[in-house]
Amino acid sequence: MAPPVVAVILAAGRGRRMGRDKAFLELGAETAVERLVRHCREAGCDAVRVVRQSGAEPLPVTLRDLQRVEVDSEEMIVSLRAGLAELLCDGLCGVLVAPIDYAMVSAKALGAVVQELRSAAAEPGTRVVLPLCRQRPGHPIGLTAGILDELQHAADLREIVRRDPGRNRAVAVDDGWVLRDLDTPEDLSAAQGALRCAGMTATELMARHRSRRSYLPLGVGDAQLRWLVDSARHASTSAFLQACAVVAVRDPERKAAAARLCADQRQIHEAPMFLAVCADLHKVAAACRAHGGALDPSHLELLVEATVDAALFGQNLALAAESEGLGICMIGAARNHPVELARLLDLPEHVYVVFGMTVGWPADDPLPRQRMPLAAVLHDERYHHEDTSAWLEAADGRMQDWARAMNERDAGSDAKPIDETRGWTDRMWWLCGRGQPPKGRAGLPDELRELGIYTPPPRPAEEGGR
């Protein structure tokens, strides 16, 4: 029989920041401790121990046969030493150190650590096995048996990991939960949201999209924000310009000020977070300066590239958020007062907010808005414009159907009845066909010029006048 790997689940903390015992957090149909035990077993651990604070609530009945170790301290190293007691015997392969905070980590990722631990233990020397996601080390950590003695004298686990990087082994995993602990109620919301959407494919998520304009009074935590942005920033980017950035606004006062600049839309006030998605040529300009040159903002192409970069990044971000159960609404009104918004967010020169995005836990349930027929978008070999009138008719009908359904179900939208007679073509005429600048944004070229993102070259007549 192969030497055993034992999982030691550290669940002795009082969960102060979470406000409750983390072992009992609800993760889908099970508690955190049940989930972590199940995953450790599925990952190939031969035995599982759980360390608890003495006097803490008993484990769920499903885990009553599990070996439970009690401690009087909340220090992780004390828990770990207690969990290892009597394990320091010959024939042990190693230990998977699994803090309860990492109960979201998949059995697959845990299995990768356990497998690496087994192969590391077969070699001479002592080893630490770390799961590595996107080049960052996470948890749970594997320790080969030879290293366990060191724990008796170490101040904490970090000290062991840092002592001799040469003996550490990384195992690459795709599971971002190795980097995201369950520390705060926001982290728990994120975990629960992700579980609700688990198993949904990217195409399912796309087709389920609806803009959400009402939110629960629940925050979006730092770890989730970092993960979503870290995912979204892998979008394609013109010429590798990477001309995008996002400012996350969660401070209520600054968010209220941003809302005022964006037509005072209610969802910005209500959402816990407002993201300002920026086209960002600041970094490109700095690169040009570093090489003795200067960015010339008179090229429309640069404005288009940076704006496209921001849009691709923003849509990636929206989809990432929706994949964890969050709701979003993009906010084009961020271009109502671009200069003032740039000042509020301290944007450097050559940066503007292309659109905002409210993000939060949705409290509304709008009916999906049917898009115009696929044939209007997908053309075989050439653009089939001869069918235009049929698409417009369909688009009108779909918009009116949606208005009728919303009026019937919710007495309208945002407590206002929707005009069922107005179709899509009527709306497009209103927005774009009356000789007015769309949404009254006549000042946008001047404002973009002021922000240094686009300076239209002077027209010949203007040039002559100089």
The contact set with ligand FMN (CB under 6 A) reads: 209-211, 213, 265, 329-333, 355, 369
Element holding 259 (H helix, E strand): helix 252-261
Cβ count near 94 (within 10 Å): 28
Cβ count near 46 (within 10 Å): 16
> What span, in angstroms and rounded, lies between the C-alpha atoms of 93 and 147?
11
Asked whether 321 and 359 are in contact (CB, 8 A), the reply is yes
- Count of alpha carbons within 13 angstroms of residue 445, beta-carbon side: 9
Asked if omega into 373 is within 30° of 0 (cis), the reply is no
Residue in 34, 46, 42 with CA at minimum distance from that of residue 7 = 46
Residue in 269, 202, 260, 196 with CA at minimum distance from that of residue 231 = 202
Here the tokens at position 34 are 């049940």
Nearest residue to ligand FMN, scored by beta-carbon proximity = 332
> What span, in angstroms and rounded, lies between the C-alpha atoms of 109 and 285?
41
* Comparison of 332 and 397: residue with beta carbon closer to ligand FMN: 332
CB of 364 to ligand FMN, least distance (A): 10
CB of 137 to ligand FMN, least distance (A): 37
Asked whether 220 and 273 are in contact (CB, 8 A), the reply is yes
CB of 409 to ligand FMN, least distance (A): 15
* Comparison of 223 and 357: residue with beta carbon closer to ligand FMN: 357
In terms of DSSP bridges, do strands 327-331 and 94-99 run parallel, antiparallel, or are they unpaired? unpaired
CB of 308 to ligand FMN, least distance (A): 12
CB of 209 to ligand FMN, least distance (A): 6
* Comparison of 36 and 353: residue with beta carbon closer to ligand FMN: 353
* Comparison of 224 and 336: residue with beta carbon closer to ligand FMN: 336
Asked whether 79 and 12 are in contact (CB, 8 A), the reply is yes
> What span, in angstroms and rounded, lies between the C-alpha atoms of 367 and 401?
11
* Comparison of 38 and 209: residue with beta carbon closer to ligand FMN: 209
CB of 324 to ligand FMN, least distance (A): 18
* Comparison of 211 and 323: residue with beta carbon closer to ligand FMN: 211
Which one-letter amino acid corresponds to residue 188? Answer: L
CB of 277 to ligand FMN, least distance (A): 9
* Comparison of 41 and 210: residue with beta carbon closer to ligand FMN: 210
CB of 330 to ligand FMN, least distance (A): 4
* Comparison of 53 and 267: residue with beta carbon closer to ligand FMN: 267
